[in-house]
């Protein structure tokens, strides 16, 4: 156990040659130059790939546009979205409400209990009988 006599007082801070008091070092966030360099390199590679894809005549963008806007592809996209969203709604409907409803039921039961105690206390005769 540490008692006040066991604790050493902090040393007095004396000014250094610049006149500023010498104190504990200031805590600064650690620098991560590797992250910045890696991020810049990744963005540069992404820009080069996008430039290569967009400027490449072999891609035949008019053909790509016709394929992507064809009826079969658009129907497939709509079916995919429907298959994603259709099961989501019942799942959310069955999973989300029980938690808020359970909280509401708990609050109501607590309020009912307080109300029951308050009404029971009011209906009791006063101590001292019929005075």
pLDDT value for 99:
63
Q: Which residue has the higher pLDDT, 86 or 18?
A: 86
> Looking at the predicted structure, is the pLDDT value of residue 32 above 90?
no
Q: Supply the DSSP string of 24-39, one letter for each residue.
A: SPPP-PPP-HHHHHHH
Give me the helices (H) in the chain, please: 33-55, 61-68, 71-85, 88-95, 98-123
Residues 53, 45 contacting (CB under 8 angstroms): no
Mean pLDDT of 6-30: 66
Mean pLDDT of 26-52: 92
Distances (CA, A) of 8 to 5, 59, 90, 126: 8, 76, 66, 64
Tracing tokens 């820009």 back to the chain, one arrives at 47
> Looking at the predicted structure, is the pLDDT value of residue 49 above 90?
yes
> Looking at the predicted structure, is the pLDDT value of residue 70 above 70?
yes
> What share of the chain has pLDDT > 70, as a percent?
62
């Amino acid at each position: 156990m540490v008692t006040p006599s066991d604790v050493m007082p902090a040393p007095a801070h004396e000014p250094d040659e610049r006149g500023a008091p010498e104190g504990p070092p200031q805590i600064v966030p650690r620098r991560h130059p590797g992250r910045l360099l890696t991020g810049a390199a990744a963005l540069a590679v992404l820009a080069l790939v996008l430039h290569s894809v967009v400027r490449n005549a072999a891609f035949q963008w008019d053909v790509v546009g016709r394929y992507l806007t064809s009826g079969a592809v658009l129907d497939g996209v709509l079916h995919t979205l429907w298959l994603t969203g259709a099961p989501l709604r019942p799942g959310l409907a069955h999973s989300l409400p029980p938690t808020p409803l359970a909280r509401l039921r708990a609050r109501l039961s607590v309020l009912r209990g307080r109300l029951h105690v308050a009404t029971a206390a009011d209906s009791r005769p006063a101590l001292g009988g019929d005075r």
